[in-house]
Each structure stands twice: as structure tokens, then as C-alpha cells.
Amino acid sequence: MARRAEASTKEEGEWQRKGATLSDKTARGEFRLTQDEIVQAIRAGKLHYRHTSIFGNPVLRLLRREVEALVKKTRGAAFLRDQQAKTELARINRELKRLATQIAGLEERKSKLMARFTR
């Protein structure tokens, strides 16, 4: 009985941990799964899910590790690595774009402050 409670507490923590879950829409985009594949895996017990909503729209929350295991089994480890690399590259590009915008704003502030000193 104690093991079951310990396991459910661990799993509950996984649902709360940042990055440990993803939506069905993200799983479709990131791992090129279809909604049918996701539903079939849920029915087969390969994916656990939770119902939630984002801006009033229904969403399925999935455990990332289970989605990755499903993709690895169905499409292969090489496909999974490629998709993870593409996702990481997209994240890095977004961060670089955000930083470039931030740098441009700081440069503008700097030039305005420097103009005060040259008068």
C-alpha cells in the first residue's frame, strides 16, 4: 500500500514539473504524431492524459517521457533525436531573436543617454 501511494505521489509530481508535460497539439507538431495515434495510444494504455483547457479550448495534457517513448517505439530513436534537435534549434532561434530585440532597445537607450553627455 505504501508503494502505491509513493508511486502516485511521484507521478503527481511529474504532472506538476515544468517541461514534463505537453499538450496534444504540441505533441502533434513537435513529434509529427496524428490525433488518431495519440488517441489509440491513450486507449492502449501507453499514454496517460489529463483534460484541461487553454483560453477555453479543450486540451489533453500528456507526459513528455511517455510521448517520447511512443515516438521512439513507432518511428525509431533516430527520428526522435532529429525531432528533439529541431525543437531545440527552434527554441534557441526564438531566444536569439528575443535577445536581439532586447539588445536593440538597450542600444537605443544607451545612445539617448550618451547624447545627453555630448551637449
pLDDT tens digits, one per residue of 28-76: 999 999 999 999 999 999 999 999 999 999 999 999 999 999 999 999 9
Mean pLDDT of 22-33: 94
Is 60 or 13 the better-scoring residue by pLDDT? 60
The pLDDT value given to residue 14? 87
pLDDT tens digits, one per residue of 93-117: 999 999 999 999 999 999 999 998 8
Among 16, 32, 22, 39, which Cα is nearest to 86's? 32
Given its phi and psi angles, is residue 105 left (phi above 0), alpha (psi -120 to 50 degrees) or beta? alpha
Asked if 110 and 70 sit in the same domain, the reply is no
Asked if 7 and 50 sit in the same domain, the reply is yes
Asked if 52 and 84 sit in the same domain, the reply is no
Asked if 70 and 82 sit in the same domain, the reply is no
Asked if 92 and 61 sit in the same domain, the reply is no
The pLDDT value given to residue 93? 98
Burial 14-29 (b: 16+ CB within 10 A, else e): eeeeeeebbbbebbee
Asked if 61 and 93 sit in the same domain, the reply is no
Provide the grid cell at 110.
Answer: 544607451
Given its phi and psi angles, is residue 55 left (phi above 0), alpha (psi -120 to 50 degrees) or beta? left
Q: How many Å apart are CA 40 and CA 7, to the nearest integer?
A: 25
No. of helices (H) and no. of strands (E), the chain? 5, 3
Confidence check: pLDDT of 2 > 60: no
Range of the domain at 115: 77-119
Provide the grid cell at 64.
Answer: 513528455
The pLDDT value given to residue 13? 84
Number of folded domains that form the chain:
2
Asked if 14 and 71 sit in the same domain, the reply is yes
Confidence check: pLDDT of 10 > 90: no
* Alpha-carbon distances, residue 53 vs 5, 26, 47 (angstroms): 28, 14, 19
Over the Cα atoms of the chain, what is R_g?
21
The pLDDT value given to residue 12? 75
